[in-house]
Amino acid sequence: MEYIPELSPSDSPSESTENTCDIADESAGGELFEIGQRFLFSDSSISLSAEDLTSMEEEDTTDEYKASTLDSEHRANGKSYMQWHGFLRKLKKGSTMHLHPFHPNLPHFRLIKKQLKRRRNAQSLSNFSLSDLQVATDNFSHENLIGEGGYSEVYRGRLEDGELVAIKRLIRETPTNKAEDYLSELGILVHVDHPNIANVIGYGIEGGMHLILPLSLNGSLSSVLSGQKEKLAWCFRYRIALGVASGISYLHEGCQRRIIHRDIKSDNVLLTEDFEPKITDFGLAKWLPDQWTQLTVSELEGTLGYLPPEFFMHGMVDEKTDVYAFGVLLLELITGRPAIDDSHQSLVMWAKPMLISKNYAELVDPSLGDAYDSEQMNRMVMVASICIHQSSTERPQMSQVVRMLKGNECIQPINKKFQKRPALRRTYPVEFIEEEECTA
């Protein structure tokens, strides 16, 4: 995956003040910034003291030799490789790691100084050994496997103090990809602080890369909606919709840097004992710098059924990517149907005729009967319909979605929301195609 366009050195902080943030090192994998006596890695925003960084540099030159003997592609990225490898070695050594929840590319460094003072009690994450995790999961037994994706497996575990946890183990093949994905997700998780986003308890490097998170006792929203047990009551569905919308709105507008989750789906919404939703799995999430309106990807990443038209057409990703996926999730809550059913039919395509004709009653999950609030239901249906609009510019911001779901903002008419447009072949332009060209 690549960002278009790339940041130039002038985009990086360069003010010469008491709190100057100088670029200490730069590579394809990210940048190291110096703030006072600490160094922060930009992709994961994990901080190291100057003493820690020096100790890395003073270690033996074995890794330097390894980097110099890599093939031509790896030699070109040798510096990046060394940076990741040294950082992982430091993670592995520590019993805890202090991770400062702010991104280094902030415009005003007095703000950084204030935040550093406020964050002296920075989140401290435990470093779990492989033996700790093996004991917790009964040696990663299949019985404790509760989820798996394209690059990770999730196991149920119980720590020594009795706490139930979910242990995510990365399973990608190449060590470099593992390091980048792992640190990227870990860095984003320690930045976020919201009741509807899963927090991270710790990490593990030995024997592979692991993230340890609290276990959500009711499992995923997907498993609850599709389960054979008693169906999810409407009050919980509405609460889940509001919670997930609030969490995504926080990622888009409440963080110091915009975060695009890129894989919002019912499998990635975990439910606590009280059915409070927690957004999880930030493996595909990306920071989106303020000066960028979108980024472009060249690989099919995400989950079919939740991906918007512009992704298939041009590989475009921005906040509206998450908005579209949330619209699909709303349809799942309303209908009880999966995003893609056993016959491979898309939920969006199934629902559109009823949305166009405003036959909302036909959308409602039959298991609910009449046991739902009709006003809340109508708001959810109408919000879902505008979230899955074919044109990303017509979709609302997630902060608007929250207000609409609460009834605090009027929902605009949707008379022309589903106008059929000619199919376009997917391309990957360096410059983004104007909407008029897309719809011609």
Helix, strand or coil, per DSSP, at residue 223: helix
Contacts of 408 (CB under 8 A, 6+ apart): none
Contacts of 143 (CB under 8 A, 6+ apart): none
**One of 43, 132, 181, 263 is an active-site residue; which one?**
263
390 vs 198, 280, 284, 387, 417, CA distance in Å? 30, 26, 23, 9, 8
Distance, in Å, from the CA atom of 182 to the CA atom of 306, rounded to the nearest integer, reads: 24
Distance, in Å, from the CA atom of 379 to the CA atom of 385, rounded to the nearest integer, reads: 10
Name the residue type at position 249: S
- Scan for tokens 């990957």, then name that residue: 428
Known active-site residue 263: yes
Q: Which of 193, 191, 213 is nearest to 203 (CA)?
A: 213
Give phi and psi for 104, each to the nearest 5.
Answer: -70, -25
Query: What are the residue ranges of helices labelled H in 150-270?
Result: 175-191, 221-226, 234-249
CB 326, CB 334: distance < 8 Å: no
Sign (positive/negative) of CA torsion 346, 347, 348, 354? positive
Number of neighbours of residue 212 by Cβ within 10 angstroms: 24
Contacts of 66 (CB under 8 A, 6+ apart): none
Binding residue per annotation — 320? Answer: no
DSSP annotation of 375: H
Catalytic residues: 263
Annotated binding site for ATP: 168
